[in-house]
């Protein structure tokens, strides 16, 4: 009887929607509103990505000019100094002899992030992916346009973390974005909003 009641309820709802133009119009308006909202989120994500790229490239231009003498400038005592270096590899200058490989990997990562952003549901997740992508794109630009040549350019680094690591603003965005993406994806299922039709799967009235 419960299964029959559920089937009858769904049939009545669908029949009501089919016979009521107003209900169909409401559904269509809801879908359009959601589409506009998602487009707005993607627009904001594009802005975040672009801002990450701009801040990275502008600070690198500044570093190339202001730190060209090679001397370190203390920023926070010896814990954080500004010192210009050029990185042909990855973090900690690893893989300096295969710069082209990191260029290819960067492109693959950006493509993967592009796919990932279309599957994310929460606005915060989408914006975090955009921040991560902006950081990755910032360093990829260096590999594309910096000497010694296209695809093997050296990344401009200038933030020295007490001798442990020398990075740039793009690295900050990458680390921050990766942490946020991992966190929001891990908790996304806890805050995902139910679809409108999910109401049909909720508790049923005692139809007989």
Domain boundaries, the chain: 45-191
For the cut 70, the answer to whether the pLDDT of residue 53 exceeds it is: yes
Q: Active site includes 157?
A: yes
What are the CA-CA distances from residue 13 to residues 4, 18, 26, 160 (Å)? 14, 9, 14, 64
Beta carbons within 10 angstroms of residue 172's beta carbon: 17
Tell me which of 56, 78, 142, 171 is the catalytic residue: 171
Residue 13 pLDDT greater than 70, yes or no: no
Contacts of 50 (CB under 8 A, 6+ apart): 134
From the list 78, 142, 157, 197, the catalytic residue is: 157
133 Cβ contact partners less than 8 Å away, ≥ 6 residues apart: 49, 52, 110, 113, 114, 117, 177
Q: Is 65 a catalytic residue?
A: no
Residue 16 parent element (H or E): helix 2-19
pLDDT tens digits along 114-161: 999 999 989 999 999 999 999 999 999 999 999 999 999 999 999 999
The answer to whether residue 199 scores a pLDDT higher than 50 is no
Q: What is the pTM of this model?
A: 0.75
State residue 23's pLDDT score.
Answer: 52
Cα(128)–Cα(115) distance, integer angstroms:
14
């Amino acid at each position: 009887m419960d299964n029959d009641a559920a089937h009858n309820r769904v049939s009545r709802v669908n029949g009501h929607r089919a016979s009521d133009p107003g209900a169909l119009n409401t559904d269509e308006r809801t879908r359009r509103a959601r589409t506009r909202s998602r487009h707005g989120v993607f627009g904001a994500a594009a802005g975040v990505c672009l801002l990450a790229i701009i801040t990275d490239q502008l600070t690198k231009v500044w570093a190339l000019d202001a730190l060209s003498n090679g001397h370190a400038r203390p920023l926070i005592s010896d814990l954080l100094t500004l010192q210009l270096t050029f990185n042909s590899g990855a973090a900690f200058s690893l893989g300096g002899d295969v710069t082209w490989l990191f260029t290819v990997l960067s492109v693959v990562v950006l493509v993967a992030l592009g796919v990932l952003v279309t599957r994310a549901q929460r606005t915060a997740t989408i914006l975090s992916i955009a921040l991560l992508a902006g950081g990755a794109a910032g360093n990829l630009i260096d590999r594309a346009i910096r000497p010694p040549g296209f695809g093997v350019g050296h990344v401009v680094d200038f933030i020295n973390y007490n001798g442990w690591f020398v990075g740039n603003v793009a690295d900050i965005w990458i680390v921050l974005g990766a942490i946020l993406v991992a966190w929001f994806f891990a908790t996304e299922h806890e805050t995902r909003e139910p679809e409108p039709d999910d109401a049909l799967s909720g508790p049923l009235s005692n139809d007989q």
